[in-house]
Amino acid sequence: MNETASDLTVGKRIGAGFAIGLGLVVLVTIVAVWALGRTVTAYESALTQRRDMLVPAIQVESEIRGANVEFLRYLLEGDKRYSTAADSTIRAARLTADRARAIVNTEAATAQNWTQLSTLLNQWASGMDSASAARGAGNQALALSIRA
């Protein structure tokens, strides 16, 4: 059964061509399914990373804004409940930043950004403490100049 190309009938040639085409389609399908699986995995990983960074960042930003509003209320009205609310909000912002830094601790650049945020938050809180002390001493002009 050693047939050469000239011995093959037209039907056998068509069948062989169809089999080769079908084999290539199956091969392309296998590669496509593999590539799609990798793409889905990469997309989900990127989405998880973004969520792990973005959600805490938005929470920290919101908490800092809330603390700022409470502290400005304290400076204007002198009511200690606003100062207390600002302090508790800053504590919540610090906790959120620390949790976010712990989550992304494997990525040095991102962890460094969270560390810088914590440093800036501490500096801001220190300035607000100084302004609060000045306001508590009755020197609103000094408190507002520190705040500025």
Q: Residue 70 and residue 107: Cα distance in Å, rounded?
A: 34
| Full pLDDT tens readout for the chain, 148 residues | 465 656 778 888 999 999 999 999 999 999 999 999 999 989 998 888 788 788 888 999 999 999 999 998 988 888 889 989 998 999 999 898 888 877 776 667 777 888 888 888 888 888 888 888 888 888 888 888 887 7
CA separation for the pair 66, 120 (Å, rounded): 16
CB 147 within 8 A of CB 75: yes
Strand locations in 10-146 (E): none
Distance between CA 20 and CA 41 in Å, rounded?
Answer: 32
Neighbours of 134 (CB within 10 A): 19
**At a CB cut-off of 8 Å and minimum separation 6, what does 134 contact?**
140, 142, 143, 146
